[in-house]
Chain A
Amino acid sequence: MQNTERQKFEENWKSAFDGAEMTPSDNVWNSIELDLAGQESATMKKRVVFYQRLAAATVIFALLTGTYAFYTNYNRTEVKETASKQVEKKVEEKNSAEPPKEDVIQKETPVASPAPQVAIAEKEEGPTATVVEEAPEPVIAAEITPAPETGIVQEETKKEEAVVSPLLQTAPLTASLEEQKQPEEVIEKKNTSRERTWLALGAAAGNYSPNMGGGGGGGGLLFSSKSQADFQSTNYSAIPGPTLNNVEAAAQNSNRTKVGTSYTLGVGVGKKFGRFVIQSGVNLGKQQIDYTSTYDTRLSNNSIKASAAFYNSLSNTFSTTPYTINSSMDIISIPVQAGYMIVDRRLGWQMNAGFSPDFFLRNTLVDKSGQRQKFSQGAGDDSPYRSVNWSGLMNTELSYRIGDHYRISFVPGMRYSFTSILKDDKTSKPLILDVGFRFRYMFD
């Protein structure tokens, strides 16, 4: 009996709560949403840090390689020039001291090997220093390398080179190397040297870190001291929502780590001078970010529009409960970049750096809950945005030629604003890390 009663007691309670429902307050979801947004931002921030480090490592690697390549090329040219000068000087001295004898010419010409070029080629497979070691006797070198068409004077010169120093030996051998390059390499060099002017189409996408003093957003500074004071004094809530306390503070914290997305589409032109490149063009950019706003705008017709903290000087802008907003900024930029081609073959590798004036077009704020109307702000005196901003650009361009006139490129890069995008706030200098693709048409 007692056992049955026990079961009945438990069953009664179980059925009393079975399917029971109670509505929690709106604060719960708001707090969950802010927590989730904070976690996403933290994850994005980790990714941004990773990409920043990757970009920095790429830039350092490219700079080191470029410096090494440049230094090596410079040294080689210098050695060649020094060697040529010394040889010329020696020849002149010799010519002035011992005038050429006709009988020597007659005597030495028949000794010429039937295949002198082959002999040179065999010697030239190794480093030039080895060649010198293998040919210690200048007489032997002269015997195996006579070229009837070059004449005895050049033969005498070669003898002198071997005698003067091993360094001098490199000059004619290097020249021979140039002459004996594989035909494909020669064709490739001719092709790349033809790529002097081009037109390019490009697109890029990447991370957008607003670096706003108060928290970020393409929409600009979100929380100012004035806005926080507003919360404490006159808390106007146009749209019903949770009360402001720790939720508002959480909104500020979550905004500080916000990262958005950046998209760029553009056309460009380029011109090559040796290994140096000058590029320019026109880009259309869109930078988007979601963040928590605590402002909206009331209009005379009772409609409410989305807003952000930097509009708080306007008479019809009021602080309200936190809500999620999407800010989308459109700009036109004219990048001007100088580059250096580290590898200039079918596969190309170049480093570019430059600057870009960015012309602000508009910023659109959209309340993601749909409770407020969207709001667009253009450029002008009444706009909180600067009409023109200056950004620094740096990127690496890895390219591949896919035809006589076409080349495709993979372009990881970064863009950092030198100037603040907001008039009243000097810290709003966005950083963009993106990856782009370019398609080049070469005119020649």
Chain B
Amino acid sequence: MSNVHIGFMLGEKELIQGCARGDRASQKALYERYCKKMMVVCLRYSRSTQEAEDTLQEGFIKIFKSISEFRGDSKLETWITRIMINTALNSQRQKLYLMPMVDVTEISLPEREEVSLSGFHLDELINMVQSLPDGCRVVFNLFAIEGYGHQEIAKMLQISEGTSKSQYNRAKTLLKAKLERDSKYAKYGEAKI
């Protein structure tokens, strides 16, 4: 193990201990280390930047409250991300309760050339995800980005596995359509939204 890595590990341990003691400088250091990555996580699950910042704030308060329970079984970043996702899901659950997810008819689009994401900025990709309907957005994030299976998602969101699959397919179809449209704009030199 390199000295740099040992230093990093010690630094992280000290940060955790400092946060557990309620030391404000340690809390701020931990926040500054992870807030940018977590902001992207929150943005993916939210409809707007304001909503994402509210989730980020709530998530970090939960993290500082429960950091003394972190035993180091997983990486700190993984633990923080999980708390952030749970916080985002909790805020989305209310919406999903009001507008429950239902099975949607799967639209089979003709086979198209796969559109690469490399030409898109992060902001654009986030906007595309944010523009998805609430249910689709949550399922898309959990399945495609977080890597959960439909069975796990069904349990987490208290929906049927079929609903999870249909919501995901809908999300995928909508995203493909957006990617294709934006790629065409790019091809013809038109400004992207």
Q: Kindly provide the distance from the CB of B20 to the nearest chain A CB, expressed in whole angstroms.
A: 13
Contacts of B35 in A (CB 8 A): 23-24, 28-29
Residue A12 is within 8 A (CB to CB) of chain B in the complex: yes
Tell whether, in the assembled complex, residue A25 and residue B122 are in contact, meaning their CB atoms are under 8 Å apart. no
Chain A residue nearest in CB terms to B123: A22
Q: Kindly provide the distance from the CB of A303 to the nearest chain B CB, expressed in whole angstroms.
A: 24
Tell me the bound Cα distance from A25 to B36 in angstroms.
10
Per-residue interface assignment for chain B, residues 37 to 52, with 1 indicating a CB less than 8 Å from any chain A CB and 0 otherwise: 1011001100000001
Segment of B1-9, B21-29, B88-96, B150-158 engaged in the interface with chain A: B21-29
Tell whether, in the assembled complex, residue B39 and residue A19 are in contact, meaning their CB atoms are under 8 Å apart. no
Count chain A CB atoms within 10 A of each CB in B60, B65, B147 and give the residue with the most.
B60
Chain B interfacial residues counted at CB < 8 A: 34
| A16 touching B125 in the complex, CB below 8 Å, given contacts A22-B36, A32-B31 | yes
Q: Kindly provide the distance from the CB of B64 to the nearest chain A CB, expressed in whole angstroms.
A: 6
Chain A residue nearest in CB terms to B146: A14
Tell me the bound Cα distance from A29 to B28 in angstroms.
8
Per-residue interface assignment for chain A, residues 2 to 14, with 1 indicating a CB less than 8 Å from any chain B CB and 0 otherwise: 0001001110111
Which residues of B (105-139) have their CB < 8 Å from a CB of A? 114, 116-117, 120, 122, 125-126
| A12 touching B145 in the complex, CB below 8 Å, given contacts A17-B125, A19-B37 | no
Residue B61 is within 8 A (CB to CB) of chain A in the complex: yes
Chain B interface, >50% SS class? helix
Contacts of A29 in B (CB 8 A): 28, 31, 35
Tell whether, in the assembled complex, residue B143 and residue A36 are in contact, meaning their CB atoms are under 8 Å apart. no
Residue A35 is within 8 A (CB to CB) of chain B in the complex: yes
Tell whether, in the assembled complex, residue A14 and residue B144 are in contact, meaning their CB atoms are under 8 Å apart. yes
Contacts of B27 in A (CB 8 A): 32, 36
Contacts of A36 in B (CB 8 A): 22, 24, 27, 61, 64
Tell whether, in the assembled complex, residue B117 and residue A5 are in contact, meaning their CB atoms are under 8 Å apart. no
Contacts of B172 in A (CB 8 A): 9
Tell me the bound Cα distance from A176 to B169 in angstroms.
103
Contacts of A368 in B (CB 8 A): 24
Tell me the bound Cα distance from A188 to B126 in angstroms.
83
Chain A residue nearest in CB terms to B43: A22
Residue A20 is within 8 A (CB to CB) of chain B in the complex: yes
Contacts of A17 in B (CB 8 A): 40, 44, 122, 125, 145
Residue B53 is within 8 A (CB to CB) of chain A in the complex: yes
Residue A128 is within 8 A (CB to CB) of chain B in the complex: no
Tell whether, in the assembled complex, residue B31 and residue A13 are in contact, meaning their CB atoms are under 8 Å apart. no
Chain A residue nearest in CB terms to B60: A32
Residue A95 is within 8 A (CB to CB) of chain B in the complex: no
Q: Kindly provide the distance from the CB of B48 to the nearest chain A CB, expressed in whole angstroms.
A: 13
| A23 touching B39 in the complex, CB below 8 Å, given contacts A5-B114, A12-B116 | yes
Q: Kindly provide the distance from the CB of A42 to the nearest chain B CB, expressed in whole angstroms.
A: 13
Contacts of A235 in B (CB 8 A): none
Tell me the bound Cα distance from A96 to B64 in angstroms.
93
Chain A residue nearest in CB terms to B36: A21
Tell me the bound Cα distance from A16 to B179 in angstroms.
13
Contact partner of B57 among A8, A20, A32, CB < 8 A? A32
| A9 touching B122 in the complex, CB below 8 Å, given contacts A17-B40, A29-B28, A40-B22 | no
Residue B85 is within 8 A (CB to CB) of chain A in the complex: no
Tell me the bound Cα distance from A178 to B37 in angstroms.
83
Tell whether, in the assembled complex, residue B53 and residue A20 are in contact, meaning their CB atoms are under 8 Å apart. no
Residue B84 is within 8 A (CB to CB) of chain A in the complex: no
Residue B56 is within 8 A (CB to CB) of chain A in the complex: yes
| A13 touching B145 in the complex, CB below 8 Å, given contacts A24-B53, A36-B24 | yes
Tell whether, in the assembled complex, residue A24 and residue B145 are in contact, meaning their CB atoms are under 8 Å apart. no
| A21 touching B37 in the complex, CB below 8 Å, given contacts A13-B117, A14-B147, A32-B31 | yes
Tell me the bound Cα distance from A96 to B172 in angstroms.
125
Residue A31 is within 8 A (CB to CB) of chain B in the complex: yes
Contacts of B145 in A (CB 8 A): 13-14, 17
Contacts of B40 in A (CB 8 A): 17, 20-22
Chain A residue nearest in CB terms to B44: A17
Q: Kindly provide the distance from the CB of B111 to the nearest chain A CB, expressed in whole angstroms.
A: 8
Q: Kindly provide the distance from the CB of B170 to the nearest chain A CB, expressed in whole angstroms.
A: 14
Known pairs A9-B114, A33-B24. 8 more at Cβ < 8 A? Answer: A9-B172, A13-B175, A14-B144, A22-B122, A24-B36, A33-B28, A36-B22, A36-B61
* CB pairs A–B below 8 angstroms (21 shown): A5-B114, A9-B172, A10-B143, A12-B116, A13-B117, A13-B144, A13-B175, A14-B144, A20-B122, A21-B36, A21-B39, A22-B36, A23-B36, A23-B39, A25-B53, A28-B60, A32-B31, A32-B57, A32-B64, A33-B28, A36-B24
Residues of A bordering B, CB below 8 Å: 5, 8-10, 12-14, 16-17, 19-25, 27-29, 31-33, 35-36, 39-40, 324, 368
Question: Which 4 residue pairs of A and B lie closest in terms of their CB atoms, listed nearest first?
Answer: A21-B36, A10-B144, A24-B39, A20-B40
